């Protein structure tokens, strides 16, 4: 003699509590068409053990990063082959995201370390690897090179690995030629998905004087305040009996603003040679 199985039914609040989720979670997946609780004449919705297994699948898919739409496909309309394909695609997506998160974390940790060095006004003579530089403005105007704008969005999207930077070239009239743009270590280009083309240039510096510095800047006198830092850096190099190269790279670490005073934190890199 067989007996029919009659699972116990639970109201939404109690069922959510026993499942470790919120009533809102149940309602959300019900509205998506994944959950279909029994609705009685009094309009109360009741869930049973059949719903429990579906809810756990919903929670698992959500925690793995699947959208509700993707979960709906997996739970209500898929084969093992369909599921394997969706899992593979999602795994590839997560792997790419993890790579970007790792790069962002490395950049954040470097930014913290560089900020401390700026506050301490540290400097060193060291070997610097090659850097790609993409010019963006010159003499307070945007450059007109179409090559810049064909790749600009990709460079901006690659920040903070890419940094705001300035290339300074000592010109014939005895003044600095200033180009603002973006810099990225050459060994990070592939990792962040960049493919530099002209007018981007690969700057190979080798031995450099590296100055970590911070100073206030004001809109009316900003360029002179920058120039003072450049002159001090050059003077420092010469006091070390070194010959400064004609091209300097400044990388901006960050800006802060407090009580109306804007502070810049940056690294100056000047190629040097022995006398």
10-62 per-position pLDDT tens digit: 999 999 999 999 999 999 999 999 999 988 777 788 999 889 999 999 999 99
The rounded Cα 221 to chain-centroid distance in angstroms is 32
Whether 152 and 233 map to the same domain: the answer is yes
Would residue 90 count as lying in a domain?
no
Q: Which region among 38-47, 72-81, 195-204 has the lowest average model confidence (pLDDT)?
A: 38-47
pTM of the predicted structure, to 2 decimals: 0.81
Whether 145 and 215 map to the same domain: the answer is yes
| CA dist., res. 131 & res. 249, Å (int) | 10
Whether 32 and 129 map to the same domain: the answer is no
DSSP state letter for 56? H
Q: How far is CA 81 from CA 54, 68, 88, in A?
A: 20, 20, 11
Q: How many domains does the chain fold into?
A: 2
Whether 166 and 253 map to the same domain: the answer is yes
Whether 55 and 163 map to the same domain: the answer is no
b/e code 31-51 from CB counts within 10 Å (16+ = b): ebebbebeeeeeeebbbeeeb
Whether 64 and 181 map to the same domain: the answer is no
Residue 86 token pair: 């969706």
Containing domain of residue 27, as a range? 10-77
For CA atoms 117, 121, 124, 130, give the dihedral sign.
positive
pLDDT, one tens digit per residue, over 241-265 is: 999 999 999 999 999 999 999 999 9
């Amino acid at each position: 003699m067989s007996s029919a199985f009659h699972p116990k039914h639970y109201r939404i609040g109690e069922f959510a509590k026993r499942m470790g989720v919120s009533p809102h979670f149940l309602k959300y997946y019900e509205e998506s068409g994944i959950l279909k609780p029994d609705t009685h004449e009094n309009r109360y919705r009741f869930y049973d053990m059949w719903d429990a297994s579906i809810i756990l699948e919903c929670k698992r898919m959500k925690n793995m990063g699947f959208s509700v739409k993707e979960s709906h496909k997996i739970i209500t309309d898929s084969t093992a082959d369909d599921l394997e394909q969706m899992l593979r695609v999602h795994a590839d997506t997560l792997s790419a995201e993890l790579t970007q998160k790792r790069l962002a974390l490395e950049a954040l940790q470097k930014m913290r370390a560089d900020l401390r060095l700026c506050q301490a006004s540290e400097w060193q003579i060291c070997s610097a690897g090659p850097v790609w530089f993409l010019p963006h403005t010159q003499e307070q105007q945007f450059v007109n090179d179409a090559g810049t704008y064909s790749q600009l969005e990709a460079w901006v999207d690659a920040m903070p690995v890419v940094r705001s930077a300035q290339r300074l070239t000592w010109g014939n009239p005895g003044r600095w030629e200033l180009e603002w743009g973006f810099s990225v270590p050459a060994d990070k280009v592939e990792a962040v998905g960049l493919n530099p083309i002209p007018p981007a240039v690969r700057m190979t510096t080798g031995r450099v004087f590296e100055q970590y510095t911070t100073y206030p800047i004001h809109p009316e006198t900003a360029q002179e305040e920058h120039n003072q830092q450049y002159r001090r850096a050059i003077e420092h190099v010469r006091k070390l009996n070194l010959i400064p190269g004609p091209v300097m790279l400044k990388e901006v670490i960050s800006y802060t603003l407090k009580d109306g005073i804007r502070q810049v934190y940056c690294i100056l890199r000047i190629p040097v040679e022995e006398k």
